[in-house]
Amino acid sequence: MRRLPLSLLFAAAAALFIVPARVTADLVWTPQDGWKVEGGALAGLAGEEGRHAIDSMNRARAAEESRKSDSALKLYTSVAKKYPNSVFAPEALYRAGRIQQQNQQYYKAFATFQQLVARYPSSEKFNQVIGEQYRIAADLFAGKRTRIWGWLPGFKNRERALEYFETIVATAPYSDYAPLSLMNAARGYKQVGETEAAIDALDRMINTYPRSVLTPDAYLKIADTHASLVDGPYYDQASTTQAVTYYEDYMILFPGDAGMAQAENGLAKMKTVLAQSKLTIADYYYKYRRNYKAAKVFYNEAITVYPDSAVATQARAKLVDVDAKLEAQAAAAAGQPAPKPVEPKKKKRLWLF
Neighbours of 50 (CB within 10 A): 18
Segment 215-223 mean pLDDT? 98
Is the CB of residue 107 less than 8 Å from the CB of residue 159?
Answer: no
Distance of CA 159 to the CA centre of its chain: 14
pLDDT at 333: 87
Task: Encode pLDDT of 19-63 as tens digits.
Answer: 444 445 678 888 888 898 876 544 556 567 778 889 999 999 999
pLDDT at 23: 44
pLDDT at 15: 44
Segment 279-303 mean pLDDT? 96
Polymer length in residues for the chain: 353
Neighbours of 62 (CB within 10 A): 15
β-bridge mates for residue 29, sequence order: 35
Quick one: pLDDT band at residue 155, thresholds 50, 70, 90? confident
In terms of Cβ atoms closer than 10 Å to its own Cβ (0-12, 13-18, 19+), residue 303 is: buried
Q: Which amino acid is at 166?
A: E
**Which positions ≥6 away from 122 have C-beta within 8 Å?**
19, 22
Fold of 1-192: 1.25.40
Is the CB of residue 291 less than 8 Å from the CB of residue 285?
Answer: yes
Neighbours of 22 (CB within 10 A): 9
d(CA 94, CA 13): 19
β-bridge mates for residue 42, sequence order: 45
Is the CB of residue 89 less than 8 Å from the CB of residue 81?
Answer: no
